[in-house]
Structure 1
């Protein structure tokens, strides 16, 4: 059993910290146990102030037998950060504190870069002997910085991410492929990056799709809901630091935005990396991951030039229907969808028997719309979890077999079968656990996909399952696409088409763009437009789709030019030829 205890920090501290302690059963092998303490500290103005707060956090965490003390992005950052001597003096003090407490210290800093002509973030890991174990510079700030790799804490392979670098797959996931079992993220997130209906929506899916521990250290506030400088509302942060197990469980977390220490015992043997290795071993993706590792190490990879798919701008109406095993109802749904001017109707995975496809094709032809439906497909004595795409003329445009399938289904082997078009707009379809194989969604976006439909058949609808589904779908839909996720419960439609404008508004303090009505607005991920419920199993949404998906290179190579060939290489794998035009 895991317990959570909240208590006031030791009186010796110059700042008051709440402490959340989660203790698990002692692992059989003590060498595989790692006690981590995340210090969720508030922003400060000077290097000296930040130094004292870091030293206090080290002392408090060490008093709780913590082995690794983790601080947020920019923990050592101040208005006087352009004075190298001050920064070096502070780092020396942190080294000494680590040596005296016999702990590892993971912390972020920011200093002015003459080369970049602006402030740039970096992070360091200091060992119990006071020496530097690891350092990397944030690529979102210094795009030509060295790619971070794996470092060891008590012999345990680890990796690290600084805030927005989480959106660079080479930073987030290649070190895990190389052996990292603990993924640290140091952030200083805006308050608006916490979207309560989605919870830890970046971090739970990372743990799940890689089967690693995720340690999220974020900045908090001295007073809940109030920036440290009342005149700078933009400085409000959201806190919610957390430690997440390889199966996606929240092991320990700060449940608010105030200063806290979050402590948990990590049984590192649970971090098997099974999901990460399975993705990389798939025949369709193995060369992609091998190419990424080569580039990350500074090598070269031959990759074709990229010409993203384009289309004429169009208004697209997506619809999902939570109907399975009922062909007459599905035919009725298509008539209803036609009345709402739907262009595409999506049914869940394994919604009908393949023998019923001809009747569904006839209905699609009668109502002149594109239909995506899941069926079990049999070939050469093998079973496949498949999606059939039917064009508005009733023809079969493609059959995609789930790449991530597990027994009793055979995994598919052709990601290029994902593709089709709706009113000329490039689209892809995925199924089931493909939702955690987000490289498929990302590479499709790089290649030009602007519509993504995902089919599932997960009946679990308890609060925890429903939240996890939203978290995973939110990640899948966050590649500047218009996305429909069809399931037997909780189907949803997502919009990330104006991602760049939404982010810019939050970062620059501008008015939010008019993205249309949404159920949940999430400026740093896809917006949840509408969700199906018990009394609303059929949902629709309409968005204006532009001429092309601008995700690449704006969110990829522009920040990580070292990996440009990787994106082009991957896009050629998932989309080697022009998809069918209905």
Structure 2
């Protein structure tokens, strides 16, 4: 079975864009040196900062963005598919896009994707996030056709919405991607379960590059970047929260095998939802 070597970069991005770009480049070069032809970085590769004013002072439009420019050049120089998991891009109207970029080996931009689901949550120990206060949600998912597989794009909190990945799988996606900055609290509880579940229920490979450790703005992210096969087996993992490169040789043909064994994409049926309550007689059907 033909294989392709892929890599996920684990980072600890901070508040200084230049430093993040330098760290990104070093990890990309390491992955390329190990033979990877597809490389994915985490969510918010270019800057990770909670303060809104600081964020707006330091981010730039895509055409001027140092990370986007460097990623394009690296993809061309190293002749690989380079997937910037996401970075902050300013929009009109005072909001920001949490945007992924996928470049080809010629440096051409293949696709972008804006994170759809906003991380608006209230966790234990007083940890609270309101992503929608700063970021504007995207409105469409993306499946990119690469020479070795069709790639479904997502970002972080999207992982909790299985309908997104099911739509990608039905559109032919064989590799699902989940660049992330999972908090330590949610990562310890749910990261492995959710990534493996998305791979299993869609019979697809899943690549998830993650942020890890304590960041300059005080947040803690879980790390544990993963590559999961269509049967739900973890084939590569950074078993910690330190910066790292993980590598795996994935076989796109394994997708067809998994989907043939358990054809749940074909077996799914539409259904209605009814209600019943104690004390109310239900009509016989």
| TM-score, normalised with respect to structure 2 | 0.81
In 1: Cα distance, 2:240 partner to 2:252 partner = 27
Q: Helix, strand or coil: the match of 1:72?
A: coil
Q: In the TM superposition, what are the counterparts of 1:29-178 in structure 2 within 5 Å?
A: 29=2, 33-77=3-47, 79=55, 80-84=57-61, 87-107=64-84, 108-115=86-93, 117-140=94-117, 141-143=135-137, 145-178=138-171
Aligned to 1:278: 263
Displacement after TM superposition at 1:72 (Å): 0.5
Structure 1 residues 237 and 194: alpha-carbon distance in aligned structure 2, compared to 1, 3 A threshold: same
In 1: Cα distance, 2:238 partner to 2:251 partner = 20
| Pairs aligned (count) | 258
In 1: Cα distance, 2:140 partner to 2:10 partner = 26
Q: Helix, strand or coil: the match of 2:239?
A: coil
In 1: Cα distance, 2:161 partner to 2:81 partner = 26
Structure 1 residues 45 and 199: alpha-carbon distance in aligned structure 2, compared to 1, 3 A threshold: closer
Q: In the TM superposition, what are the counterparts of 1:301-316 in structure 2 within 5 Å?
A: none
In 2: Cα distance, 1:276 partner to 1:113 partner = 45
Structure 1 residues 61 and 211: alpha-carbon distance in aligned structure 2, compared to 1, 3 A threshold: same
In 1: Cα distance, 2:224 partner to 2:215 partner = 17
Q: Is the 8 A contact 1:75 1:109 kept in 2?
A: yes
Aligned to 1:190: 183
Structure 1 residues 421 and 86: alpha-carbon distance in aligned structure 2, compared to 1, 3 A threshold: same
Structure 1 residues 85 and 275: alpha-carbon distance in aligned structure 2, compared to 1, 3 A threshold: closer
Displacement after TM superposition at 1:65 (Å): 0.5
Displacement after TM superposition at 1:132 (Å): 0.6
Displacement after TM superposition at 1:157 (Å): 0.8
Q: Helix, strand or coil: the match of 1:218?
A: coil
Displacement after TM superposition at 1:192 (Å): 0.6
Displacement after TM superposition at 1:146 (Å): 4.1
Structure 1 residues 420 and 88: alpha-carbon distance in aligned structure 2, compared to 1, 3 A threshold: closer
Q: Is the 8 A contact 1:209 1:276 kept in 2?
A: no
Q: 1:257 aligns with which of 227, 235, 241?
A: 241
In 2: Cα distance, 1:65 partner to 1:76 partner = 24
| TM-score, normalised with respect to structure 1 | 0.41
In 1: Cα distance, 2:274 partner to 2:6 partner = 44
Q: In the TM superposition, what are the counterparts of 1:344-355 in structure 2 within 5 Å?
A: none
Q: How far does the alpha carbon of each residue in 1:556-581 deviate from its partner, in whole angstroms, 9 at most, with x for none?
A: xxxxxxxxxxxxxxxxxxxxxx9779
Structure 1 residues 87 and 47: alpha-carbon distance in aligned structure 2, compared to 1, 3 A threshold: farther
Q: How far does the alpha carbon of each residue in 1:94-151 deviate from its partner, in whole angstroms, 9 at most, with x for none?
A: 1111111111111111123233x233200011111111111111123433x3412321
Q: Is the 8 A contact 2:210 2:225 kept in 1?
A: yes
Displacement after TM superposition at 1:422 (Å): 5.6
In 2: Cα distance, 1:118 partner to 1:84 partner = 12
Structure 1 residues 83 and 205: alpha-carbon distance in aligned structure 2, compared to 1, 3 A threshold: closer
Aligned to 1:244: 228
Q: Is the 8 A contact 2:188 2:222 kept in 1?
A: no
Q: Helix, strand or coil: the match of 2:222?
A: coil
In 2: Cα distance, 1:421 partner to 1:270 partner = 43
Q: Is the 8 A contact 2:142 2:168 kept in 1?
A: yes
Q: Any unmatched runs of 5+ in structure 2?
A: 49-54, 118-134
Q: Any unmatched runs of 5+ in structure 1?
A: 1-26, 222-226, 286-414, 426-577
In 2: Cα distance, 1:282 partner to 1:85 partner = 42
In 2: Cα distance, 1:151 partner to 1:45 partner = 30
Aligned to 2:124: none
Displacement after TM superposition at 1:88 (Å): 2.8
Q: Is the 8 A contact 1:47 1:87 kept in 2?
A: no
Q: Is the 8 A contact 1:81 1:112 kept in 2?
A: no
Structure 1 residues 170 and 579: alpha-carbon distance in aligned structure 2, compared to 1, 3 A threshold: farther
Displacement after TM superposition at 1:167 (Å): 3.3
Displacement after TM superposition at 1:45 (Å): 1.2
Q: In the TM superposition, what are the counterparts of 1:245-394 in structure 2 within 5 Å?
A: 245-272=229-256, 274=259, 278-282=263-267, 284-285=269-270
Structure 1 residues 100 and 200: alpha-carbon distance in aligned structure 2, compared to 1, 3 A threshold: same
In 1: Cα distance, 2:62 partner to 2:203 partner = 41
Please say which structure displays the higher CA radius of gyration.
1
In 1: Cα distance, 2:17 partner to 2:79 partner = 23
Q: Helix, strand or coil: the match of 2:269?
A: coil
Aligned to 1:462: none
Structure 1 residues 138 and 421: alpha-carbon distance in aligned structure 2, compared to 1, 3 A threshold: same
Displacement after TM superposition at 1:82 (Å): 3.3
Structure 1 residues 100 and 279: alpha-carbon distance in aligned structure 2, compared to 1, 3 A threshold: same
